[in-house]
DNA sequence: CATGAATGAGACTTCATTCAT
DNA sequence: AATGAATGAAGTCTCATTCAT
């Protein structure tokens, strides 16, 4: 990294510098929390990695917990925003579902297992006091897109109506998270594309209105038959 | 992990009294770890609840971590034993599967959410050093019965062969654990019987050899193959 | 006084050695608090002077504030006990009063100005949270002997009845404390005997039933009444 | 460490705006010190209440202690000035005394208990380093008017000569301060007028030349007798 | 064997104060 | 002159762990 000569940066807007610090701390904080977990993360370590005084961390965040809450919140924010904005609202429920599973897995993999594991485990652990309260709400917002998807799918008659939405949710998120844990534990790589495809193929039939599936197959066969006949 | 530092290994306490002490500590340890999580559990608290000196705990266990490992190991042991011994080996794969899911859920509910949550969250968290290593192996043994079940089911031709066993495992354990987390988080009660029945009904068709649909698809493939051959 | 946070319940140290430690800490604590005041006293310094680890202090006292409360309480205890037990109950109110003032001054002088100043100033300062609550009660118990003395003196008709007891109290304790402050501030020596004598001589006439003067006034009233009747 | 490190002594800020700043800081400083005590007052809080930067405070005062000294000095200045200027020099010692007690109590009550308590407790506490030195001198100037009063009263033969002036001072200021403390502690209201009257009535006879009192009564009786006789 | 006692190591947090801009 | 930013120094408190008895 030879180039990048330190441009004098005349008139560095004071405001900008401060915001940069906040970003630095959040970035490194995310990194360290993901790496060590809540209890093993120390403000000392965070400061050390940025190369600032420990006291500076406290200038921008009122404490370790607040920082952690911000780290987690930001991450949830990213996910929920992506999920909420990217969702193809006009597509069929199946397409939406496929998109959701795929995006979900990709997001986790982009971040690496660290933060993911952190939120899943620490977030659920006892004893962090208010941290739990914050996370419960975040968790709710985090699953909202899926719940919406499922609800509207049911309204459209594309999803079966004989099992509760929350059971459906567990059926979808459960395997996803389990696969991620597996990966975290064993260190095995996970192909998001491939995994998403498999999961969708496996889980969708369970969620879908049975007739839908039959119809889908019949249509496929008819299409093919016609194509063959025409050829 | 051969190392196993030379724990003083005081004369194996074969005395009945000593064994009782160990059992006491393990029992209370399990209780406290389940209640407070690893980091918030203190040796002081464990000793206090038994009514012994803190130092005594260290007479029987070389440290907090070792105790924790024993607590978790014992719990896994119980589960694995129950699952291994109770499994109806002569029954159909479906029956075995039903039994597995049902027993699994029941075991968790008997123990209460405490230890379950502890193992699922803390057990997976980072930073406990060797704890993780131990848990990976435990995890493997813990899922062994299910893997056996799935493998033999496949051999018998009762389970589909086009998806990996590990994916199947995630498909089964994922929803179970997700439902348990939900219960831990919301405090809602969970009817083991009812939940097990629902889960089996939902997941089984996905795992099973889809004979009829498969037959249909085979026919389709043959049709396509012929068409292509004709072209 | 809400919640009474779950004091960590450190193992109750009850043996002789343990009691000695408690005494050591209280003794040195009294010394340091007296010398430096609450805020400037550090647990480090207390430990250092005893020659023990700082952590040991926290084995015996759950925190700096608790230690301080104990130090002050003990001191009040000493004073109140002395005042309550030594008080010559059979003597005249005057004798009791004389004894009280004398003893009071002596006690302060024995302790040296340190703790006295500490209690008078810190005890009254803001911001120590619950410390204040504790002190208010101690203050009440501390002035109780004097109040009793004054009350019984009034009942016996030896003290005037036209001024409130609390005003009398201020009239007695005010000058005593002011003299002590003066001594603290200027470092001047104070002869307890001599000072006590002077104070008693000065204040007593103000408190006592002014029999002679009263008699004179009664005569005057009679004279007036006669004069008016004659008119 | 008396040395008095070379405070940058920025060009004496003679501008009106600068003076306003100093006044603002002193005003708010007085407020906060009175409210929180010395140790609990932070420069941050002072700056916050004024709406300026913390660093600005240090532009005008070389540190927290210096500011505190100024706050206390100013307050003493006010009191001493008021006492010195308002004193009715031509009146009898009794009148002067009455005026002094009354004014004194009123001043405290005007300021509220805050600063009063602050000066009395913190001002006397240890550990503020040079603060104490400053206060001793202030204390001297503060009691000067009373001492003058007492001295001249004695010269005029209106006050007894058998007790030291400093004892008299304690006899006067002690009860006043004790009453104020009582008020601070209990939160009870205090009627300055009424309290001053009572105090004067109680303490004056003790200070006065005994003959003076007798003379006073005799004169009263004579006046009455004459009046009655004449009627 | 059991334990009372002690503690080293380190965590989080606060705040007066400095300095470049 | 004013301040945004940064920090050194210090303080309280926790806890797993050791060791002599």
Q: Are residues A123 and A191 in the same domain?
A: yes
pLDDT in tens, A186-212: 667 778 888 898 899 889 989 987 766
Answer yes or no: is C7 within a domain.
Answer: no
The nt closest to B60 (CA vs C1′) is: E1
Residue A148: CATH number of its domain? 1.10.357.10
- Strand E contact nucleotides, protein CB < 7 Å: 1-21
Bridge partners for A208 per DSSP: A159
Nearest alpha-carbon partner for A177 in A79, A75, A108: A108
**Which burial class, exposed, middle or buried, applies to C228 when counting CB atoms under 10 A from its CB (0-12, 13-18, 19+)?**
exposed
Asked if B87 and B145 count as a contact pair (C-beta separation under 8 A), the reply is yes
The 10 Å Cβ neighbour count of residue D47 is 18
pLDDT in tens, D49-84: 999 999 999 999 999 999 998 998 898 888 888 888
Q: Are residues A49 and A104 in the same domain?
A: no
pLDDT band at residue D137 under the 50/70/90 scheme: confident
Number of domains in chain B: 2
Q: Are residues B19 and B123 in the same domain?
A: no
More confident residue, D209 or B109: D209
Which residue minimizes Cα–C1' distance to E18? D55
Q: What is the pLDDT of residue A129?
A: 59
Residue D208 phi, psi (nearest 5): -70, 155
Q: What is the pLDDT of residue B4?
A: 44
Answer yes or no: is A95 within a domain.
Answer: yes
Q: Is the pLDDT of residue A27 over 90?
A: yes
The lowest-confidence range among A77-86, B5-14, D188-197 is B5-14
Q: Is the pLDDT of residue C213 over 70?
A: no
Q: Is the pLDDT of residue C14 over 60?
A: no
Contact D126 C37 (CB under 8 A): yes
Q: Are residues D46 and D127 in the same domain?
A: no
Answer yes or no: is D204 within a domain.
Answer: yes
Answer yes or no: is C8 within a domain.
Answer: no
Q: Are residues D212 and D107 in the same domain?
A: yes
Nearest alpha-carbon partner for A95 in A141, A147, A149, A145: A149
| Angle formed by the axes of helices C113-122 and C165-186, nearest 10° | 120
Question: What tokens appear for B223 in the block?
Answer: 């049709």
Residue A49: CATH number of its domain? 1.10.10.60
Answer yes or no: is C161 within a domain.
Answer: yes
- Residues of chain C whose beta carbon is less than 8 angstroms from a beta carbon of chain B are 8-11
Residue B6, CA atoms < 13 Å, CB-side half-sphere: 1
CA atom of A114 to C1′ atom of F18, Å: 36
**Which burial class, exposed, middle or buried, applies to B147 when counting CB atoms under 10 A from its CB (0-12, 13-18, 19+)?**
middle
* Mean pLDDT for the stretch of residues D180-205: 83
Q: Give, in order, the Cα–Cα distances in Å from A132 to each of B10, B185, B186.
A: 42, 9, 11
Asked if D93 and D149 count as a contact pair (C-beta separation under 8 A), the reply is yes
Question: What tokens appear for D193 in the block?
Answer: 């007028």
- Compute CA B54 distance to the chain's CA centroid, rounded to the nearest angstrom: 31
Chain D residue numbers with beta carbons less than 8 Å from the beta carbon of C31 are none
Residue A196, CA atoms < 13 Å, CB-side half-sphere: 18
- Cα(D213)–Cα(D204) distance, integer angstroms: 10
Chain C residue numbers with beta carbons less than 8 Å from the beta carbon of D113 are none
Contact C117 D139 (CB under 8 A): no
- Cα(A108)–Cα(A116) distance, integer angstroms: 6
Q: Is the pLDDT of residue C134 over 80?
A: no
Of the candidates D37, D163, D170, the beta carbon closest to that of C127 is on D37
- Provide the strand spans (E) within chain C: none
**Which burial class, exposed, middle or buried, applies to D59 when counting CB atoms under 10 A from its CB (0-12, 13-18, 19+)?**
middle
The nt closest to D55 (CA vs C1′) is: F3
- Cα(A197)–Cα(A178) distance, integer angstroms: 16
- Cα(A29)–Cα(A114) distance, integer angstroms: 12
Q: Domain containing B179: what range?
A: 70-230
More confident residue, D216 or D39: D39
Q: Is the pLDDT of residue B151 over 80?
A: yes
Q: Are residues D44 and D127 in the same domain?
A: no
- Residues of chain D whose beta carbon is less than 8 angstroms from a beta carbon of chain C are 35-37, 39-40, 117, 120-122, 124-127, 135-136, 139, 163, 166-167, 169-171, 173-179, 181-182, 184-185, 198, 202-203, 205-206, 217, 220-221, 224-225, 228, 231
Q: Is D79 left (phi over 0), alpha (psi -120 to 50) or beta?
A: alpha
Answer yes or no: is C10 within a domain.
Answer: no
Chain B residue numbers with beta carbons less than 8 Å from the beta carbon of A175 are 170-171, 174-175
Asked if D50 and D24 count as a contact pair (C-beta separation under 8 A), the reply is yes
Those residues whose C-beta lies under 8 Å from the C-beta of residue A61, and which sit 6 or more positions away, are: A25, A67, A70
More confident residue, A119 or B87: B87
Q: How far is D171 from chain C (nearest CA, A)?
A: 5
Q: Say if D and B touch: at least 3 Cβ pairs within 8 Å.
A: no
Question: What tokens appear for C57 in the block?
Answer: 């202090």
The nt closest to D56 (CA vs C1′) is: F2
* Pairs across B and C, CB distance < 8 A: 7
The lowest-confidence range among A26-35, A66-75, C70-79, D133-142 is D133-142
Which residue minimizes Cα–C1' distance to F15? B42
- Cα(C186)–Cα(C166) distance, integer angstroms: 29
Q: Is the pLDDT of residue B12 over 60?
A: no
CA atom of D52 to C1′ atom of F6, Å: 18
Residues 53-82 of D with CB under 7 A from strand F: 53-56, 58-59
Q: What is the pLDDT of residue C174?
A: 93
- Secondary structure (DSSP) of C25-89: HHHHHHHHHHHHHHHH--HHHHHHHHTS-HHHHHHHSSSHHHHHHHHHHHHHHHHHHHHHHH--T
The lowest-confidence range among A73-77, B13-17, C40-44, D87-91 is B13-17
Asked if A175 and A203 count as a contact pair (C-beta separation under 8 A), the reply is yes
- Cα(B203)–Cα(B168) distance, integer angstroms: 10
Answer yes or no: is D9 within a domain.
Answer: no
Q: Are residues C216 and C143 in the same domain?
A: yes
Is the shortest CB-to-strand distance from A18 to strand F under 7 Å? yes
The lowest-confidence range among B24-28, C1-5, C227-231 is C1-5
Q: Are residues A35 and A100 in the same domain?
A: no
* Mean pLDDT for the stretch of residues C209-228: 70
Q: Say if D and A touch: at least 3 Cβ pairs within 8 Å.
A: no
Those residues whose C-beta lies under 8 Å from the C-beta of residue C155, and which sit 6 or more positions away, are: none
Q: Is A38 left (phi over 0), alpha (psi -120 to 50) or beta?
A: alpha
More confident residue, B202 or D114: B202
Percent of chain D with pLDDT over 70: 79
pLDDT band at residue B77 under the 50/70/90 scheme: confident
- Cα(A20)–Cα(B88) distance, integer angstroms: 62
Which residue minimizes Cα–C1' distance to F11? C42
Chain A residue numbers with beta carbons less than 8 Å from the beta carbon of B41 are none
Q: What is the pLDDT of residue D140?
A: 79
Is the shortest CB-to-strand distance from C54 to strand F under 7 Å? yes
The lowest-confidence range among B136-140, C141-145, C169-173 is B136-140
Asked if D72 and D128 count as a contact pair (C-beta separation under 8 A), the reply is no
Q: What is the pLDDT of residue C27?
A: 96
Contact D184 C124 (CB under 8 A): yes
* Mean pLDDT for the stretch of residues A64-68: 93
Answer yes or no: is B7 within a domain.
Answer: no
- Mean confidence (pLDDT) of chain D: 82
Residue with tokens 């003290």: C159
Chain D residue numbers with beta carbons less than 8 Å from the beta carbon of C40 are 126-127
* Total residue count of chain D as it appears in this document: 231
More confident residue, A14 or A49: A49
- Cα(D54)–Cα(D45) distance, integer angstroms: 8
Q: What is the pLDDT of residue B128?
A: 53
Question: What tokens appear for C75 in the block?
Answer: 């001191």
Q: Are residues B27 and B121 in the same domain?
A: no
DSSP state of B124: G
Bridge partners for D98 per DSSP: none
- Cα(D217)–Cα(D215) distance, integer angstroms: 5
**Which burial class, exposed, middle or buried, applies to B152 when counting CB atoms under 10 A from its CB (0-12, 13-18, 19+)?**
middle
The lowest-confidence range among B10-19, B204-213, D83-92, D151-160 is B10-19
Asked if B79 and B142 count as a contact pair (C-beta separation under 8 A), the reply is yes
* Ranges of H-type helices in chain B: 16-36, 43-50, 54-60, 64-86, 93-111, 113-121, 130-155, 165-186, 192-207, 211-230
Which residue minimizes Cα–C1' distance to F18? B55
Chain C residue numbers with beta carbons less than 8 Å from the beta carbon of D40 are 126-127
Q: What is the pLDDT of residue B53?
A: 95
Q: Is the pLDDT of residue D201 over 70?
A: yes
Bridge partners for D159 per DSSP: D208
Asked if D96 and D208 count as a contact pair (C-beta separation under 8 A), the reply is no
pLDDT band at residue A70 under the 50/70/90 scheme: very high
Q: Are residues D32 and D141 in the same domain?
A: no
* Mean pLDDT for the stretch of residues C10-23: 73
CA atom of C62 to C1′ atom of F19, Å: 24
Q: Are residues B158 and B56 in the same domain?
A: no
* Mean pLDDT for the stretch of residues D135-155: 85
Residue A97, CA atoms < 13 Å, CB-side half-sphere: 27
The lowest-confidence range among B6-15, B37-46, C129-138, C140-149 is B6-15
Of the candidates C37, C39, C167, the beta carbon closest to that of D198 is on C167
Q: Are residues D105 and D37 in the same domain?
A: no
Question: What tokens appear for D43 in the block?
Answer: 């420069």
Q: What is the pLDDT of residue D231?
A: 56
- Secondary structure (DSSP) of chain D: -TT-------S---SHHHHHHHHHHHHHHHHHHHHHHHHH--HHHHHHHHTS-HHHHHHHSSSHHHHHHHHHHHHHHHHHHHHHHH--TTS-HHHHHHHHHHHHHHHHHHH-HHHHHHHHHGGG-S--THHHHHHHHHHHHHHHHHHHHHHHHHHTT-B-SSS-HHHHHHHHHHHHHHHHHHHHHH-----HHHHHHHHHHHHHHHHB-HHHHHHHHHHHHHHHHHHHHH-
- Cα(D125)–Cα(C128) distance, integer angstroms: 14
- Cα(D161)–Cα(D165) distance, integer angstroms: 9
Is the shortest CB-to-strand distance from C47 to strand F under 7 Å? no
CA dihedral (A70, A72, A78, A82) positive or negative: negative
Nearest alpha-carbon partner for A12 in A21, A3, A23, A24: A21
């Amino acid at each position: 990294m030879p180039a990048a000569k330190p441009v004098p940066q005349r008139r560095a807007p004071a405001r900008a510098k401060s915001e940069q610090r906040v970003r630095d701390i959040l970035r490194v904080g995310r990194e360290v929390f993901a790496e060590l977990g809540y209890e093993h993360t120390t403000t000392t370590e965070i400061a050390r990695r940025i190369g600032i005084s420990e006291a500076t961390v406290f200038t921008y965040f009122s404490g370790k917990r607040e920082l952690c809450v911000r780290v987690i919140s930001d991450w949830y924010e990213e996910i929920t925003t992506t999920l909420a904005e990217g969702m193809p609202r006009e597509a069929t429920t199946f397409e939406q579902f496929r998109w959701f599973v795929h995006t979900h897995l990709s997001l986790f993999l982009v971040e690496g297992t660290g933060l993911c594991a952190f939120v899943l485990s620490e977030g659920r652990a006892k004893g962090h006091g208010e941290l739990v309260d914050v996370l419960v709400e975040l968790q709710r917002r985090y699953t909202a897109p899926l719940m919406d998807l499922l609800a509207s799918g049911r309204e459209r008659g594309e999803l079966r109506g004989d099992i509760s939405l929350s059971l459906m949710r567990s059926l979808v998120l459960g395997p996803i998270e389990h696969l991620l844990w597996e990966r975290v534990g064993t260190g095995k790589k996970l192909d998001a594309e491939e995994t998403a495809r498999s999961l969708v193929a496996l889980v969708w039939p369970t969620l879908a209105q049975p007739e839908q599936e039959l119809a889908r197959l019949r249509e496929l066969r008819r299409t093919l038959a016609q194509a063959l006949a025409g050829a």
